[in-house]
């Protein structure tokens, strides 16, 4: 499955890998980036010109100006396709970097989401469900307070937490098939 646009998370994750693989220079002119000058700033380039193909093998960094020139320069297009073939055939993301790096990062992200889900479900269950014949501690929770508390607990256990991720996890636990519900107050 592919995302249609390169997300900020993908950009952050891939940038380090691409720099290790290709260096921190423009693929086309081999010059350094100058962030203060827009045409020489760094941007991601899709080697095969398909902006929906966000595989790491299809991504490089280039000057904004070089990336624009590539659309009309056949030599740059040939260089891009050769680089894509090289990336695909090498089975490597750079010197000593194996494709398993991405799988490891993905597995870590999944593990983190599983852990965040566990902490969230535990919190909701402890506060809103009956246990051993005892009534629940609370009959309802303020959403913001619950989100803040769960975020803090995830941070304490994992040294990081994302309220956006946790908001989606709470939404999941409040879907029609789940044990909890969100009720909008006036």
Closest by CA position to 62, among listed 73, 9, 110, 52: 73
Please count the residues of the chain.
Answer: 186
pLDDT tens per residue across span 115-171: 899 999 999 998 988 877 788 888 889 999 999 999 999 989 888 888 988 998 999
Domain boundary among 41, 62, 91: 91
Any domain includes 183: no
Strand pairing of 97-98 and 92-94? antiparallel
User: So what's the pLDDT on residue 1?
Assistant: 37
Print burial letters for 110-145: b (CB count within 10 Å at least 16), e (below 16): eebeeebbebbbebbeebbeeeeeeeeeeeebeeee
Q: Give residue 36's pLDDT.
A: 85
User: In terms of domains, do 112 and 155 share one?
Assistant: yes
83 and 124 assigned to the same domain? no
Within-domain flag for 165: yes
What pLDDT digit, counting tens, does each position of 26-84 carry? Answer: 999 888 888 888 888 899 999 999 988 889 999 999 999 999 999 999 999 999 999 99
Of 64, 91, 118, which residue sits at a domain end? 91
pLDDT at 93: 54
Residue 2: is its pLDDT beyond 50? Answer: no
Look at residue 47 and give its three-state secondary structure: coil
**What count of Cα atoms within 13 Å lies in the side-chain half-sphere of residue 41?**
6
């Amino acid at each position: 499955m592919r995302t249609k646009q390169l997300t900020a998370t993908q950009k952050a994750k891939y940038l380090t890998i691409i720099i290790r693989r290709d260096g921190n220079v423009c693929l086309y002119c081999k010059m350094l980036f100058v962030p203060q000058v827009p045409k020489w700033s760094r941007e991601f380039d899709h080697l095969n010109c398909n902006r929906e193909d966000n595989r790491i093998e299809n991504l490089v960094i280039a000057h904004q100006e070089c990336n624009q020139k590539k659309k009309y320069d056949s030599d740059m297009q040939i260089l891009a396709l050769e680089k894509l073939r090289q990336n695909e055939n090498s089975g490597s993301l750079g010197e000593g970097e194996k494709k398993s790096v991405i799988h490891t990062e993905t597995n870590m992200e999944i593990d983190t989401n599983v852990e965040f889900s566990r902490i969230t479900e535990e919190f909701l269950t402890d506060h809103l469900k009956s246990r051993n014949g005892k009534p629940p501690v609370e009959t309802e929770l303020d959403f913001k307070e619950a989100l803040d508390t769960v975020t803090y607990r995830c941070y304490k256990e994992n040294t990081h937490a994302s309220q956006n991720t946790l908001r989606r996890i709470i939404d999941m636990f409040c879907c029609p098939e789940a044990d909890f519900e969100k009720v909008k107050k006036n």
